A and B are shown apart, each in its own frame.
Chain A
Amino acid sequence: MQGMSLIVKTVTRLVAGFIVLFGAYIVLYGHLTPGGGFTGGVILAGGLALVVLAFGEDYARNVLTHSWARVGDTMGALLFLLVAVLGFVGGVFFTNFLPVGAVGRLVSAGTIPVSNLAIGIKVGAGLFGVFVALAVFRRTAAGGQEPGQSIEPDA
C-alpha cells in the first residue's frame, strides 16, 4: 500500500515525535497521574502506526520493521518477569522491594515505575506489530488461490 499525500506526510513529520513523547510521559508518570503502562503503550502503538500509515509499506519493511516489534514485545515481557523474580530479594514473588520514598515524587513507589516501563514497551511493540501485520500488508481481494504478501522477510 502506498503512503498518503504530501500534506499528511508533512504533518506526520511534525507531529509523530510529540505523540511518542506524550506516550512516554504517560508511561513514566503512571503512578502519579491518570495513565500507566497500558494506556501509554497503546498511545505509543498509535503514534508508530500513524507513521507507518502515512509513509507506506516500504517504510514498514525497511525502517520500522516487524522484527523490531517482536524484539520489543519479548524484551518488555522479560523485563516484567525480571522485576517479578527479583521480588524474591524482598521475600516472596513480586514483592515491591525498592524503597517507597515520598508520595508524589517521580522516583517513588518502589518497583512500580519499572513495571510501568516494561508493560509500556511490551504493549506498544506488540500492538504495533499486530497492526502492521493486519493493516499494512495487502491481501488479495478475493478467491485465495495465490498467496498474499506475508510478514516473513522475502530473503
Chain B
Amino acid sequence: MTLAMLPFILAFLLLVVGLYAIVAKRNLIKIIVGILVLDYAANLLLVLMGYRTPPAGGAPVAPILTGGAHEADALAATAVDPIPQALVLTSIVIGLSVTALVVALAIRLYEKYGTFDTNLMRNLKG
C-alpha cells in the first residue's frame, strides 16, 4: 500500500461517510446531505483515476488545445485523460437535478406531516 494509493482511499472513505448518512440518520435533510456527499465522492473518485502526473514538475496539463493543430502530438503525450472528465461533467449537472427532485419530495412531505423526522412519519399515517 504505497503513498500513491492514499487519494483513492480518502475518496473511498468519503463515499462510505455519505452512505452512512443515508442509512443511519433519521432527519430527512441529513439524508439529502448524505446523497449529496455520495455524489461528490463518486465524481471525485472518477476524476482521480484519470490524472496523469506532469513531466518534470510542471503544472498538470488540461486536455485543451490552445496552440493550434500542430501541437496536438505534444498534448497527447502529457495531457490528463479526458474520458473521466467527460463522464463527470454531465454527472455534476445530473446531481443538481436529482437534488432538486429530492428536495421537492422533502417539501411535500413537510407539508403533509409537519416534520422532517422519518420515524414520526412512519407512525402518523396521513
Q: Which residues from chain A sit less than 8 Å from chain B, CB to CB?
A: 33-34, 36, 38-39, 41-42, 102-104, 123, 126-127, 130-131, 133-134, 139-140, 142-144, 148
A142 and B104 contact, CB distance less than 8 A: no
B111 and A140 contact, CB distance less than 8 A: yes
CB of B1 within 8 A of chain A?
A: no
Distance A19 CA – B64 CA, assembled complex (angstroms): 24
B111 and A148 contact, CB distance less than 8 A: yes
The contact of B68 among A36, A104, A143, by CB within 8 Å, is: A104
Distance A57 CA – B45 CA, assembled complex (angstroms): 40
CB of B33 within 8 A of chain A?
A: no
A42 and B100 contact, CB distance less than 8 A: no
Most chain B CB inside 10 Å of its own CB: which residue of A38, A133, A139: A38
Inter-chain contact total with CB atoms closer than 8 Å: 48
CB of B114 within 8 A of chain A?
A: yes
Closest residue of chain B to A130 (Cβ to Cβ) is B100
Pairs of residues from A and B, 3 with the lowest C-beta to C-beta distance, nearest first? A144-B111, A103-B69, A144-B112
Q: Which residues from chain B sit less than 8 Å from chain A, CB to CB?
A: 62, 64-65, 68-69, 89-90, 92-93, 96-97, 100, 103-104, 107, 110-114
The contact of A34 among B64, B111, B112, by CB within 8 Å, is: B64
Q: List, in ascending order, chain A residues with CB within 8 A of B97's CB.
A: 126-127, 130
Distance A131 CA – B68 CA, assembled complex (angstroms): 40
Distance A34 CA – B89 CA, assembled complex (angstroms): 11
CB distance from B99 to the nearest CB of A (A): 10
15 A-B Cβ contacts within 8 A?
A39-B89, A41-B93, A42-B93, A42-B96, A103-B65, A127-B93, A127-B100, A130-B97, A130-B100, A131-B100, A133-B104, A134-B107, A140-B111, A142-B114, A144-B110
Distance A155 CA – B119 CA, assembled complex (angstroms): 39
Closest residue of chain A to B65 (Cβ to Cβ) is A103
DSSP class of B's interface residues: helix, strand, loop or mixed?
A: helix
Closest residue of chain A to B107 (Cβ to Cβ) is A139
CB distance from A69 to the nearest CB of B (A): 13
Closest residue of chain A to B64 (Cβ to Cβ) is A34
Q: List, in ascending order, chain A residues with CB within 8 A of B69's CB.
A: 102-104
Q: List, in ascending order, chain B residues with CB within 8 A of A33's CB.
A: 64
CB distance from B35 to the nearest CB of A (A): 16
B96 and A144 contact, CB distance less than 8 A: no
Distance A87 CA – B69 CA, assembled complex (angstroms): 26
B90 and A38 contact, CB distance less than 8 A: yes
